[in-house]
Amino acid sequence: IGDNIEFVLAAMIPLPFILFAPVAGWFSDRFAKSRVIYLALILQLLIFGMVAASLLLRSVQLAVFGFFLLAVQSTLFSPAKQGILKEIVGSQKLGSANGLMQMLTMVGILGGMAVGGEWFDAELQRLNEKNGILPDNAWGAALVPVIVIGIGTLVPLVIAFFIRPTPAHPGTRFKTAIFWSHFLDLRYLFSHVVLRRTGLFIAFYWLVANFLGLAFFGFAKELHPDVAEGGVSSASGRMFVVIGVGLIAGSLLVSVLTRKGNRLGLAIFGGAIMAAGFAAVGVFAPGSLAWFGSVALIGFASGFFIVPLNAHLQDQIAADHRGRVLSAQNLMTSLSGIVAITASSLMKLAGLSVSTQTLLMVPFIVVVTFQLFRMLRRSALRAS
């Protein structure tokens, strides 16, 4: 599993959404979303403690299980985080708020990956110089960052305490059927044309995003083939930083452009530029200035693509179904992640280079963007 650990860990992220999405949606609908967010952040702190223990015990199984539990925590957190926006800001500012939330989320995720990667490689290099190149050095190199980041989870926990209380919905009772209500939630989403189409476009975006994340690890391994000497974590981290900077810029600009109302047409521009960025990443030499510029372009275009779609979906859902529909959307997103992992691993087994894999995604992005254009054009014609 060592050579393919990125596929194993990547699969751990969508699996809890597939298993527990309906229950997460019920929690978000039944209880105050502000309360659910606070409890999810407490759970996050406890899980980081368990991950630190797994590193001290040198237990791969416990570490992977802790990673899985973090994904479970994210499953519970996500519907509440997304659903609370409209309750706090209303419809008019929803597009702008989504842009800011997307930006801050990416700052946390991508910034954490970059800092963690650089930190891990620096610690690994220090221990390799001190003790010689030993497998045990990697455990020690990971321990300090995990402990510090775990302590850092106290910050959002304190912030969450000041979130304005939101209403609960005590009439939403729990039934055991909720555990297998995936198809009921999806049926509700798919029974509404606008929700169905928007949801599929969002799921496709995350398929592309998951694929690109795996590609970054592939590119990093090509640049640093000797894993024992390190470099893969910091190299992939820099790639995530670059795409994150682009995404932050794109999301902020979309937030400004949509401050008086959502503009779904921006997603067409985002899709077209995203396709161009993927083509350039597949053509230019990995690690070159032109290559990193192309990665930044993908990030910038991603903000234009996903932010208006997320705002449009949230605005179209009835208040008493928002948590479950967003949970069903998370289920679709998770399934698209499994598709991305499967496709990436099969192409790797087929011997395709990471650059070739990236180029193969371009026509799919073009086709989906064209379908989005057709949908908006038909909507505009009906409105006129």
187-210 average pLDDT score: 89
Residue of higher predicted confidence among 256 and 183: 256
Instruction: From 150, 137, 144, select the one nearest 119 (Cα to Cα).
Output: 144
14 versus 247: which is more confidently predicted?
Answer: 247
Say if residue 382's pLDDT is above 70.
yes
The answer to whether residues 331 and 216 touch, using CB atoms and an 8 Å cutoff, is no
Q: Determine the pLDDT at residue 373.
A: 93
Residue 336 above 70 pLDDT? yes
Q: 119 or 92: whose pLDDT is higher?
A: 119
Please state, in angstroms and rounded to a whole number, the distance separating the CA atoms of residues 382 and 319: 26
Comparing 102-106, 138-142, 217-221, the range with the smallest average pLDDT is 102-106
Q: How many CB atoms lie within 10 A of CB 55?
A: 21
Residue 55 has pLDDT above 70, yes or no: yes
Are 361 and 343 in contact by the 8 Å Cβ rule? The answer is no
Residue 320 pLDDT? 67
pLDDT(125) > 80? yes
- The position carrying tokens 């699996």 is 15
pLDDT at 6 (0 to 100) = 67
Nearest to 81 by CA among 158, 15, 163: 163
Rg of the chain in Å (alpha carbons): 21
Q: Where are the beta strands (DSSP E) in the chain?
A: none
Sole residue written with tokens 């969002």: 202
Q: Which is more confident, 68 or 319?
A: 68
AA letter at 189: L
**What is the predicted pLDDT for the residue at 301?**
96
Question: How many of the other CB atoms lie within 10 Å of CB of 118?
Answer: 17
Range among 78-87, 90-99, 202-211, 328-337 with highest mean pLDDT value? 202-211
Of the candidates 329, 342, 68, the one whose C-alpha atom is nearest the C-alpha of residue 214 is 342
pLDDT value for 384: 61
The residue-averaged pLDDT of 8-13 equals 75
The pLDDT of residue 368 is above 90: yes
Q: 229 or 147: whose pLDDT is higher?
A: 147
Question: For residue 358, is pLDDT > 60?
Answer: yes
In degrees and rounded to multiples of 5, residue 66 shows phi and psi of -65, -40
Mean pLDDT of the region 320-348: 82
Is residue 1's pLDDT more than 50? Answer: no
Predicted local confidence at residue 20, as pLDDT:
81
Question: How much is the pLDDT for 227?
Answer: 64
With pLDDT > 90 as the criterion, what percentage of the chain qualifies? 28
Quote the CA–CA distance of 63 and 69 in Å, as a whole number: 10
Give the pLDDT score at 167: 75
CA distance 99 to 311: 9
Instruction: Say if residues 45 and 154 touch (Cβ distance below 8 Å).
Output: yes
More confident residue, 5 or 330: 330
User: Rounded to whole angstroms, how far apart are CA atoms 374 and 382?
Assistant: 12
Say whether pLDDT at 45 is over 90: yes
CA pair distance 356, 155, nearest whole angstrom: 42
Which tokens belong to 201?
């476009």
Q: What is the mean pLDDT of residues 240-256?
A: 87
d(C-alpha 268, C-alpha 372), whole Å: 7
Lowest pLDDT segment from 3-7, 8-12, 261-265: 3-7
For position 129, what pLDDT does the model report? 84
Give the sign of the dihedral formed by CA 144, CA 150, CA 153, CA 154. negative
| Both structure tokens of 72 | 């479970």
Name the residue among 17, 76, 26 with its Cα closest to residue 334: 17
Tokens of 376: 């908006």
- Residue 48: phi and psi, rounded to 5, are -60, -35
Phi-psi region of 117 (alpha: psi -120 to 50; beta: other; left: phi over 0): alpha
pLDDT of residue 323: 64
pLDDT in the model for residue 132: 82
Residue 279 has what pLDDT?
A: 97
| Long-range residue pairs from 217-224, CB within 8 A, at least 24 positions apart, any chain | 217/6, 218/344, 218/348, 218/354, 218/357, 219/286, 219/287, 219/354, 222/286, 222/354, 223/286, 223/287
The answer to whether the predicted template modeling score (pTM) of the entire model surpasses 0.75 is no
- Characterise 226 by phi-psi region: left (phi > 0), alpha (psi -120 to 50), beta (else): beta
Side chain identity, residue 200:
L
pLDDT in tens, 294-320: 999 999 999 999 989 988 887 877 766
> Which pLDDT value is given to residue 276?
97
Displacement of CA 12 from its chain's centroid (Å): 13
CB distance 333 to 14 below 8 Å: yes
| DSSP secondary structure string for all residues of 276-296 | HHHHHHHHSPTTSHHHHHHHH
Give per-residue pLDDT as tens, 202-236.
999 999 999 998 899 899 988 888 766 667 778 88
pLDDT band at residue 255 under the 50/70/90 scheme: confident
